[in-house]
Structure 1
């Protein structure tokens, strides 16, 4: 691959800064630049190669740890009833592991992001699909003295923001270009650390920022239980009102969308281009960098597969550019044979290995919208990212008849970098 010459300027890297904000209810951490995972992982501004165009990495921007009581039960022990007891606790707060908008942590990107969270806060956290309401709710405790007890389970809720890194061509000025890792939109995450359990009485002296202190408050030891309940009820009322407003707004949007579908139809007619998109003249083939295998649909199926080069219009694509979102232009790819759009299979938006096929182009559908990450000028190599979930396009293996799929972090071996070659 021929690259234009580039002489880097002088770079200064600041030291990683961690801010520990200790308060009665939480500990927050923020990275001033980059993230706290191993130096071997890329950072924004680091150089990358053409093999990285089809890859994607997460990084952690911030983290807040909040001690949280998830299960609680008051229990009165009278004289003569001491000893070991098995008590069933009640759910009080539910924490669900979430990365972005999904609670199904199956993709490599989400697992890797939570692994980086673990290193960032230096504490073991859940890195799989999990929720505290699925944790064991019984507790066995040996009561040595009569009294009024609060039995609890709790954890450290960990929340924060993550970012995403992609490799693409960067204009360095004076006609010079280089490929670098750039920051792309990420989202928020939630997870939690190891569950803890215990029993507490009002007369016990405990650290002010501990789960035991939260349990004492919930037990009502210092007269703030009523205030806590009132604040919780007010918060629930506000949240319900917000949900009601959101439901009303969604209903209005659905009605407007239905009206649009009735008037103009949501499915664009074959060979039509979605509104707001303009197609480049001629056609492209898209395939492996060695020009041996290309994207096209096999006879008798709508699936897009890797197949050998052919003059068939099944292997020719129109490249159409549309609006800019999140700092990059959206694209649709329309097959010349049928006039249909490259589309991620419905129901597989967050599935590692989700498949692509051709389907009628739609006015609005993020499963048909793609971002392109390009090599330096003079090269036709690209990485392709689906807008709906941020996954990168790839395939299980580079072989004839392999289905085109999506992978949350792309292809580690570089086979998610494709050749976008003008042919007509």
Structure 2
């Protein structure tokens, strides 16, 4: 308040001095009066422009207070809630002390890790060295923890650096990725082997015929050429199956949307097999009527599925025994079943029958022309059509392969 009044007093004093000086100088009375009025008005304006003490105090009271320091992310309740929903192990650390561990991390490492030094909580030499070498907010490259937490397992470890010396550590199980890599490597190796075997036979017999220079008798030449043809057809079938499984895998995430009749597809497949030159074509016995079974599907793939299952039964069933094909309705599902009367398959082989190139008896499979991909293709086609594949077998009695497909709604 003192500053505002002092400014007004100083302004009026200056006005009074100016008026006195003008009067002493013999100025006109009207001019002096105008000068005095202008001085008072200027003083009033200065006074009104200065902030009042009340307003100053009010502004001081309403001035924004400095922002509080940011809250710790690791201690936020929503962060803990999110962390527990993560399927992979996650650790929150403050100056290398574990302050938070989600459920997956506790299952992997134990509940005792909370409050412990992260370098001892993750008991692996590579992890200890990696964590000890981290300085400042830098984010190092992920590392692989081999034989962690048990021999034969592998995990990937990565880190996200936060402010204030805090960090989040993520652990990812590499088992599924490693299995896929092994499967891909095995597939390439097996495919190369399967192609190399008939190719070697073809080249060997061709070279033999060339060395004979026409000296071979007709019977020998015919036998060699028959072997070459058989091995070439085997290679051809293998290439066809490789292309088929590649196409099916490419389509596995696209559900079919085309209405088809499963009864018609199976009947067409049986007719094609009966018209072929296969020695057991007449052993196929169809046990179903012409009742339509509508579903959403890929007609070509469903035909291939039926063809592969029936062909397998023809190959591995005993000669002159029926290959029974059944197609029945079970509520809102249609089940295709194919049963042979062969030697059967031991129970320990059943889970692996749908693996690519897996054979119970390699010598017999090659003698009947199997590529080892037939049931793998059946499995992928079944999965794409939301079908359920079942394989049952009794040693010495035979095998039954069935697939149940969902029917179209309203069928």
- The TM tier, using the shorter chain, reads under 0.3
Relative to its length, the structure with more strand (as a share) is 1
TM-score (normalizing by structure 1): 0.24
Kindly name which structure, 1 or 2, has the bigger radius of gyration based on alpha carbons. 2
TM-score (normalizing by structure 2): 0.25
Relative to its length, the structure with more helix (as a share) is 2
